[in-house]
Structure 1
Amino acid sequence: MAAFWKRIRQFFNTTIGFYVLVVLLFWLKTYYCYKTDFTLGVSGGVQEFLLAVNPLPSALLLFGIALYFRGKLSYWLMLIIDFLQSTWIFANILYYREFSDFLSMGIIKGTGNVQNNLGKSFLEILRPTDFIVYLDIVVLILLLLFGVIKISKKPLKLRYAVGITILSLVLMFAEYNVANADRSGLLTRTFDNNYIVKYLGLNEYAAFSAYQTHQESTTRSQAKAKDLKGVEKFVKQNYASPNVSYYGKEKGKNVFIIHLESFQQFLIDYKVNGKEVTPNINKFYHDQHTLSFDNFYHQVAQGKTSDAEMMLENSLYGLPQGSAMVTYGGQNTYQAAPSILDQKGYTTAAFHGDVPTFWNRNNAYKSWGYDYFFSEAYYKNKPNYNIGYGMKDKIFFKQSIPYIQQLPQPFYAKLITLTNHYPYELDKQNTDFPATTTGDNTVDPYVQTAHYLDQAFGEFEAYLQKSGLAKNSVVVLYGDHYGISNNHRPAIAKLLNKKSVDKYDLAQFQKVPFMINGANIQGGIDHTYGGEIDVLPTLLHLLGVNNQNMIQFGQDLMSKDNNQIVPFRNGDFVSPKYTKVGSTVYDTKTGSELKLNAEQKQEVAKIQTYVNDSLSNSDKVVYGDLLRFHKLPGYHDVNKKSFNYNKRDALKKLKQTDQKQKSDLINQNGGKSTESDFQTDAPELK
């Protein structure tokens, strides 16, 4: 036995021996992280096998780089490569815990635009056990420092290094073939990133993400006007004509878009200890002049809030990776809601109590045609005015009134709330609602920040009524994305009063609110299936704007021609009959898993074709910037250089416009401010 261990130690004292040890430890820790930190949905022997072996080919390749060098340099390179790969795993663990997805090159490129306050969120997410990913490096360094393993000065023969490189590439190719046989079109069709990591590995996913990012840049440079023809054909074939009962019902009215941050549909009418979480939004939801959709889904991917805004105002999908607003917000041509309505005589403005660079809004909003962007610089700020990702909602609404009352009417105004954002923090002076008791520290305070958001909306709604704006305005409420990720299954089950939740339940849990209130709207609960991609055509028809020649991938939710198919960014979908999650199809009404007969297979395949074509055609528009080739009658492209969001210049422009038009709320109020009409109980302002 002693001789055996002596031979083992002698082996590890060689360069190739140390290399094998490094690869082995890295392989084991990566597989450990797969099983403990990610929910990859592995099923069956083939997937389990691929998950176990997929760290190996890339590890052999990357650590093998060090074998082309000799002595200490070779050892140091292996440790450095190990550290870099471990940091990639570490970063993905944190990101996945919050977003149920993996970091992409698109997200990394946009980090500078989304980093505000992210450090604080990551501290909330971080667990001591996450640092296990660096444990093998510490062990290896200690083994070298204390001479347990000695650095070999004997150079490794070049043919061995080359042989290992070739072996790693062969294993990668074999792995891909097995994976593609189990999941055809793995890299050519739109799938969840979990599939790529599950089948190929984190490093291969990173390489594929980098390739996609490069392809995006190349696609735009090579795009031509003729590429738009197929897109136009698809949009025309799937156009949903307006419902005559609603078309133009609110023509010429102001429009308020209230962005309910991380707000999910289950909160409507939800109670904790017998108390309504959102009494004001509930009242709005059930109002006789509110059309409320209870089968409305968020459709975001990695871009989260930015994806929701992209769909809401452009009827274009977000990207499968990264954020379209970050990557393409400033460079592409758009035909967005602000520019469309601006050319119909509207003043357009966005309100956001945080830095203008967040999600690249300062550039994307110019591309979309916003006349004004009231961001952080426009608001008076104190340390206790902020929490989490920015200004508290009550203070935000209160301080937005001076600008709202100066907007020439009709106007289109979007107000983005922030307080109901992860990690759902709220100071004691604003917490007057009980938390849930699921035992999940991330989930339980969610209802408290949602209740605060509801109170803030209630104060704003009261202002609209008292100031007189309500009677001449359409108010739209929508939830941008989930607040509770699918990684919190036990807590979700408790919230829904279920013993457990399956993939069907989680798909239905992605519902978010969508409500439209207007004096001329006959309200009620509408069961039409739809998503954020459908908001723009719905709103335009309500305002009497013809969108028949526009490139929009949503359908009017009030149209009788609506196909009620809700595509998700990963290729899944929901319809009134079928819910598809991965390779599983459920009966939407009962939630039971279906074993499809021939007729059902044909129906599902038809829906899947529509979903794939909708996503791919939207991607063609974004990646290729195809709207620069689209000539819309009566519409002229946005001149981004004409917009200036500097506070001094913007307020000067606003004043000059008002002197010409005299159509703002102050003028309607006899020259008097309406700020006193807004009442808030925000303790910070007392």
Structure 2
Amino acid sequence: MSSFVKKLRQVVSSRAGFFWLVFFLFWLKTYLAYQNNFTLGVNNGVQQFLLLLNPVPSGLLLVGLGLYFGGRKSYWIELVVSLIQSAWLFANTLYYREFSDFLSFGIIKSSSSVSNNLGLSILEIIHPTDFLLFLDVFVLILLVSFKVIQPDMSKPKRRYAVVGSVMALILFGLNLSMAEGDRSQLLTRTFDNNYIVKYLGVDFFAGYSAYQTHQQTATRKNATSSDIDRALDFVNKNRSQPNISYYGKEKGKNVFILHLESFQQFLIDYKSDGQEVTPNINRFYHDQHTLAFDNFFNQVGQGKTSDAETMLETSLYGLPSGSSMTAYGSSNTYQALPAFLDQQGYATASMHGDVGSFWNRDNTYKSWGYQYFFDSSYYKEKANYSVGYGLKDKIFLKQSVKYLEQLPQPFYAKVITVTNHYPYDLDKDNQSIPKTKTGDKTVDGYVQTARYLDEAFGEFMNYLKKSGLYDNSVIVAYGDHYGISNNHPKALAKLLDKKSVTSYDLAMLQKVPFMVHSNNLAGGIDHTYGGEIDVMPTLMDLLGIKNDDTIQLGNDLLSTTRNQTVAFRNGDFVSPDLSKIGSKVYDNQGNRVNTKNLTVEQKQILKEQQERTDKALSLSDKIVTGDLLRFYTPQNFKKVDKSQYKYKYSDGIKALKKARKEKKTSLIDQRDGKSTQDLYETNAPELKEDNKDDE
């Protein structure tokens, strides 16, 4: 036995043996942390393999730094690297336990918020087992210090170090290639920090977030107050006057924002095999008290849903690439709709049956001034309750009632549905309409998930009517972005009963519904051209909130003086007069126009439209990347204090109870403590199965 121990000491004391020991322990504790300390949502064999693989390149590269040096220095460098890894895993474990997200350099740099958020609760969230992350380093330090492991003092063979570094880069290239294959646009769109860690590792995430923070800091540093003056000058010149027939008409009412995932305008009144696909939404659209806009466009870029939310809440565009919510939501200054309403006495909440970190909502919503964020941690989940991006709509909306009924009134509640999301898969029990028969698998399931969303929408409307909220609320329903992309022109042509679709047709297919309902409103179809950038000023005017000195790039859709040029993120635009799609110009009948044949007046209109589009997009980018709103605050608006918002379940429930006690205006309080949950009726088959099990 003593011979084996002696031989083992010799092996681990050698430079190569010690390196491989530290490297293995580096990999092992990282992988175990992935499995035990974080919820990364590994869904298939590729993702499981990448979880095993991604600590290897970083381990080879970082621990391998010690191989470039000789003697004891080599050993201590490797130990210090392993110690830093342990500290990084430990810090992320604590932060993730509290916020279900990873600790980015942007968060570290912008706070005080980390210490404010974690400081008071660190003793509660820390587990004794967390310190096991340091065990390997502690043991190895003792073994080296007491000379159980005796460093090899010979000169280093740096070719081995170089080979290790090259292997690290090759393996990282393989890792990145496989990750992109399983999740395209992983880095350009940056959906969620969890995705980056799952696919590329916690160490890559550290470097990536440091790079992002550096880039953002450099741009922010170069921005000055004169930049915001130019933005304000443009906004003031282009600000439309509110329509006196509507201004303040809905003052003091509750506001619902119903986010209809991937819902395009063509679905309104659309029939498949003779069946209405969305009968409930159709009725809402045509209701005598619903203002429906049939020339309302999504204006999203790569950020998709996050861009739609950004425009809706801030009247600023998304970025040319990536998502402004993930890149800037944690650190920037915003003057968003939830904050305005909060300061008008509203309770503000967003509800979403997915993890709070997706699109960085858990941080961005604090910057926007949301008091409450009810994410998946607030909802009961079972294996058959969820579809790709969160809880199925019927289950999600039914469970949301227990929070809606507790919100002090008036409230502003955004409700985000997800079932009508690509790839439009739905289990058989929830299918109530056949697939279309275009032959395109991506497209043909779209009507099935749209019908499911419509049924969930109808159930929710019935609840609002039964509970009394319907009569005391402004109900806004909108589609966030296209459902079927332009990459499926043949299938789209079949759906629309056309021989083919032109570039103009595809631009018109970017229309999504925008509907505003209230019993005070005289409804009808409004043909005004507009887009998501216009929602915030429209709602502020309807609610009678002062809006003549804000920085918003949209305009009230109900204003009679508004410019109707709708800018797309790529620089194209549409309007009631002329539209430019790529290099082509079209009239409002969809006919391509030869620009040489335009009148002088038409050429001037086209030039002004393009200049306005380019200027608005450019200014929006400067406002976001330079964090320009820190230089300007509208009158009667207080800067958002992000530190006052906490979305962890225990904190959210505590804050809700406190608000109810203070205001006593919630729906449940108006009913003398009686819940309205029994008023909600759904035909969700999953819940019927649960009821049978309970019996």
Distance 1:328 1:72, change over 3 A: closer
- Residue 676 in 1 paired to residue 678 in 2? yes
**Contact 1:576/1:589 (CA < 8 Å) preserved in 2?**
no
How far did 1:107 drift?
Answer: 2.4
Separation of aligned partners in 2, 1:633 and 1:298: 30
Q: Secondary structure at the match of 2:686?
A: helix
Q: Secondary structure at the match of 2:595?
A: coil
Q: Secondary structure at the match of 2:319?
A: coil
**Contact 1:116/1:358 (CA < 8 Å) preserved in 2?**
no
Separation of aligned partners in 1, 2:519 and 2:196: 41
Q: Equivalent residue for 1:570?
A: 570
**Contact 2:180/2:186 (CA < 8 Å) preserved in 1?**
no
More deviation, 647-656/315-324: 647-656
**Contact 1:113/1:326 (CA < 8 Å) preserved in 2?**
no
Tell me which amino acid in the other structure corresponds to 1:451.
Answer: R
Tell me which amino acid in the other structure corresponds to 1:641.
Answer: S
Distance 1:409 1:219, change over 3 A: same
- Residue 112 in 1 paired to residue 186 in 2? no
Q: Secondary structure at the match of 2:296?
A: strand
What stretches of structure 2 of length at least 5 have no aligned partner?
Answer: 1-158, 201-209, 689-695
How far did 1:86 drift?
Answer: 8.8
- Residue 632 in 1 paired to residue 634 in 2? yes
Distance 1:290 1:538, change over 3 A: same
Q: Secondary structure at the match of 1:501?
A: coil
Cα deviation per residue 1:108-133 (whole Å; 9 max; x = unaligned)?
A: 5x5525679999xxxxxxxxxxxxxx
Separation of aligned partners in 1, 2:685 and 2:591: 46
Separation of aligned partners in 1, 2:177 and 2:572: 27
Tell me which amino acid in the other structure corresponds to 1:435.
Answer: K
Q: Equivalent residue for 1:511?
A: 511
Separation of aligned partners in 2, 1:113 and 1:664: 35
Cα deviation per residue 1:195-229 (whole Å; 9 max; x = unaligned)?
A: xxxxxxxxxxxxxxx99997544211221222111
Q: Secondary structure at the match of 2:662?
A: helix
**Contact 2:343/2:637 (CA < 8 Å) preserved in 1?**
yes
**Contact 1:264/1:479 (CA < 8 Å) preserved in 2?**
yes
Percent identity between matched residues is 58
Q: Equivalent residue for 1:126?
A: none
Distance 1:342 1:525, change over 3 A: same
**Residues 185-200 of structure 1: matches in 2 within 5 Å?**
none
Tell me which amino acid in the other structure corresponds to 1:422.
Answer: Y
Separation of aligned partners in 2, 1:104 and 1:565: 32
Separation of aligned partners in 2, 1:582 and 1:217: 34
**Residues 89-488 of structure 1: matches in 2 within 5 Å?**
103=185, 105-108=187-190, 111-112=192-193, 216-488=216-488
Q: Equivalent residue for 1:613?
A: 615
Separation of aligned partners in 2, 1:362 and 1:626: 22
Cα deviation per residue 1:411-440 (whole Å; 9 max; x = unaligned)?
A: 000000010011111111111111111000
Separation of aligned partners in 2, 1:279 and 1:115: 40
CA RMSD of aligned residues (A): 2.6
How far did 1:601 drift?
Answer: 2.6
Separation of aligned partners in 2, 1:620 and 1:421: 31
Separation of aligned partners in 2, 1:307 and 1:76: 42
How far did 1:390 drift?
Answer: 1.0
Q: Equivalent residue for 1:601?
A: 603
Cα deviation per residue 1:287-335 (whole Å; 9 max; x = unaligned)?
A: 0000000000000000000000000000000000100000000100100
Q: Secondary structure at the match of 2:665?
A: coil
**Contact 2:490/2:500 (CA < 8 Å) preserved in 1?**
yes
Separation of aligned partners in 2, 1:546 and 1:540: 7
**Contact 2:320/2:569 (CA < 8 Å) preserved in 1?**
yes
Q: Equivalent residue for 2:656?
A: 654
Separation of aligned partners in 1, 2:163 and 2:648: 54
Tell me which amino acid in the other structure corresponds to 1:682.
Answer: A
Distance 1:106 1:672, change over 3 A: same
How far did 1:389 drift?
Answer: 1.2
Q: Secondary structure at the match of 2:463?
A: helix
Tell me which amino acid in the other structure corresponds to 2:291.
Answer: L
Separation of aligned partners in 1, 2:240 and 2:180: 41
Distance 1:269 1:401, change over 3 A: same
Q: Equivalent residue for 2:150?
A: none
**Contact 1:408/1:664 (CA < 8 Å) preserved in 2?**
yes
Separation of aligned partners in 1, 2:312 and 2:645: 21
Q: Equivalent residue for 1:12?
A: none
Cα deviation per residue 1:7-40 (whole Å; 9 max; x = unaligned)?
A: xxxxxxxxxxxxxxxxxxxxxxxxxxxxxxxxxx
Q: Secondary structure at the match of 1:460?
A: helix
Separation of aligned partners in 1, 2:589 and 2:566: 15
Tell me which amino acid in the other structure corresponds to 1:603.
Answer: I
Separation of aligned partners in 1, 2:196 and 2:390: 12
Q: Secondary structure at the match of 2:444?
A: coil
Cα deviation per residue 1:138-165 (whole Å; 9 max; x = unaligned)?
A: xxxxxxxxxxxxxxxxxxxxxxxxxxxx
Q: Secondary structure at the match of 1:348?
A: strand
Separation of aligned partners in 2, 1:652 and 1:104: 36
Q: Secondary structure at the match of 1:550?
A: coil
Q: Equivalent residue for 1:552?
A: 552
Distance 1:364 1:558, change over 3 A: same
Separation of aligned partners in 2, 1:91 and 1:656: 45
**Contact 2:292/2:524 (CA < 8 Å) preserved in 1?**
yes
**Contact 1:247/1:544 (CA < 8 Å) preserved in 2?**
yes
**Contact 2:228/2:623 (CA < 8 Å) preserved in 1?**
yes
Q: Equivalent residue for 2:76?
A: none
Q: Secondary structure at the match of 2:522?
A: coil
Separation of aligned partners in 2, 1:74 and 1:402: 60
How far did 1:83 drift?
Answer: 9.0
Distance 1:631 1:76, change over 3 A: closer
Q: What is the total number of aligned residue pairs between the two structures?
A: 519
Distance 1:85 1:586, change over 3 A: farther
**Contact 1:116/1:389 (CA < 8 Å) preserved in 2?**
no
TM-score normalised over the length of structure 2 = 0.71
Distance 1:117 1:376, change over 3 A: farther
Separation of aligned partners in 1, 2:341 and 2:429: 41
Separation of aligned partners in 2, 1:560 and 1:356: 39
Separation of aligned partners in 2, 1:300 and 1:520: 31
Cα deviation per residue 1:230-277 (whole Å; 9 max; x = unaligned)?
A: 000000000011000110111000000000001100000000111100
How far did 1:670 drift?
Answer: 2.7
Tell me which amino acid in the other structure corresponds to 1:411.
Answer: F
Distance 1:544 1:593, change over 3 A: same
How far did 1:75 drift?
Answer: 13
Separation of aligned partners in 2, 1:288 and 1:117: 49
**Contact 2:179/2:199 (CA < 8 Å) preserved in 1?**
no
Distance 1:72 1:328, change over 3 A: closer
Tell me which amino acid in the other structure corresponds to 1:659.
Answer: K
How far did 1:592 drift?
Answer: 3.0
Q: Secondary structure at the match of 1:442?
A: helix
**Contact 1:348/1:411 (CA < 8 Å) preserved in 2?**
yes
How far did 1:595 drift?
Answer: 3.2
Tell me which amino acid in the other structure corresponds to 1:502.
Answer: T
Distance 1:265 1:552, change over 3 A: same
Tell me which amino acid in the other structure corresponds to 1:634.
Answer: N
Q: Secondary structure at the match of 1:530?
A: strand
Separation of aligned partners in 1, 2:230 and 2:236: 10
TM-score normalised over the length of structure 1 = 0.72
Separation of aligned partners in 1, 2:373 and 2:680: 21
Q: Secondary structure at the match of 2:436?
A: coil
Distance 1:351 1:276, change over 3 A: same
Distance 1:486 1:75, change over 3 A: farther
